Amino acid sequence: MNVLFRDAEGAGLFPQGSVVCIGAFDGLHLGHRALVGRAVERARALGVPAVALSFEPLPRELFARDAQPPRLMLPRAKAEGLFALGCEGVGLLRFNRALTAMSAEDFVRHVLVQRLAAREVWVGPDFHFGHARRGDMALLQTMGAELGFTAQTIASVQYEGERVSSTRVRAALTAGDFAQASRLLGRPYAIGGRVVRGQQLGRTLGFPTANLRYGGKVPALRGIYATWVHGITDAPWPSVSSFGTRPTVDGVEPLLEAHLFDYSGDLYGRRIEVEFVAHLRDEEKFPDLSALVAQMHQDDAQARSLLQQYEPQRALA
């Protein structure tokens, strides 16, 4: 049975022991997958659960409140992706002032040993943890020798001579290079969620949309895109999507709005996934709704033409 937990302290969750991997895991790119894969492999060999340990919000989100960094994926998608990669336990620890004040030694004792009964701990290169980031691999190995676990680092994954990282994925997305992003991620870039009700303005303009919120996070994308929507039928559905704050209609919260071509039906409450294929244009503010509608017709035609050149891919982890 899969276990999702948020608290750093508390009763032990895996009395039989566990193999733990630790990381931000934003995007679950090839480097993350290699780290999780090693933990899962070792857990299978030892006959114990594999546990992925991460943080929500991400540390940089707590420390940069006035300039929130872009997120590649939301917490739910991250947890689902980690479970799909073979983890039986996923910890999205509440990264708050209490956790930032916890010393590295206490993190080892309370989280890794008491909470998770870690037998092995796997991390990426240059890993630091605990208050003021004073914990490192040397501390993990020293305390592990005393408390009954081993700690090891997995080598970084390289692509085209550089380390695969969330930063590289964000740069590829910002540049509209979805082929490069897919190579770094090991799958097409996609955003999933449950369809919510919007202002229904698109319907009145002749372009009904399936709307996904982004949980108050800052997206790594902004603009108009040719997309495939998964989760409607067995085959992906062609679409054009807008991701942004809708300046023409005074929107504020980032919203992903997917217009499914030639589709009629009620999608409210349905879980879908939007796979990004190509960037059409940046988001802009139009002088009036008629100008916006004229541009939406152009976007529709351009996306239809582009999607005829692309084979849809499975966007799930």
Of the ranges 21-35, 102-116, 124-138, 282-296, which one carries the lowest mean pLDDT score? 282-296
202 close to 209: Cβ distance less than 8 angstroms: yes
User: For position 315, what pLDDT does the model report?
Assistant: 47
Q: Name the one residue in this structure whose structure tokens are 């229904």.
A: 200
- CA 5/CA 87 separation, integer angstroms: 13
- For the stretch 188-229, pLDDT in tens is 999 999 999 876 665 556 588 999 999 889 999 999 999 999
Share of the chain above pLDDT 90, in %: 79
108 close to 139: Cβ distance less than 8 angstroms: yes
Q: What is the dihedral of CA 77, 80, 82, 85, to 10 degrees?
A: -120
Average pLDDT over residues 24-49: 98
Confidence of residue 181 (pLDDT cuts 50, 70, 90): very high
The overall average pLDDT reported for the chain is: 92
CA 69 to chain centre: 13
5 φ/ψ angles, rounded to the nearest 5 degrees: -135, 155
User: For position 248, what pLDDT does the model report?
Assistant: 46
Of the ranges 244-248, 274-278, 287-291, which one carries the lowest mean pLDDT score? 244-248
DSSP 3-state of 136? coil
Q: Name the one residue in this structure whose structure tokens are 């479970």.
A: 83
User: For position 287, what pLDDT does the model report?
Assistant: 85
- For the stretch 95-138, pLDDT in tens is 998 999 999 999 999 999 999 999 999 999 999 999 999 999 99
User: For position 48, what pLDDT does the model report?
Assistant: 98
Q: Which residue has the higher pLDDT, 311 or 231?
A: 231
Tell me the domains of the chain and their CATH numbers. Answer: 3-159 (3.40.50.620), 187-307 (2.40.30.30)
258 close to 274: Cβ distance less than 8 angstroms: yes
User: For position 124, what pLDDT does the model report?
Assistant: 96
Of the ranges 265-269, 297-301, 305-309, 312-316, which one carries the lowest mean pLDDT score? 312-316
- For the stretch 50-61, pLDDT in tens is 999 999 998 888
User: For position 233, what pLDDT does the model report?
Assistant: 92
Share of the chain above pLDDT 70, in %: 93
8 close to 104: Cβ distance less than 8 angstroms: no
- Closest by Cα among 311, 235, 315 to 274: 315
Q: Residue 76 above 90 pLDDT?
A: yes
The pTM assigned to this predicted structure is: 0.92
- For the stretch 237-250, pLDDT in tens is 999 999 987 654 45
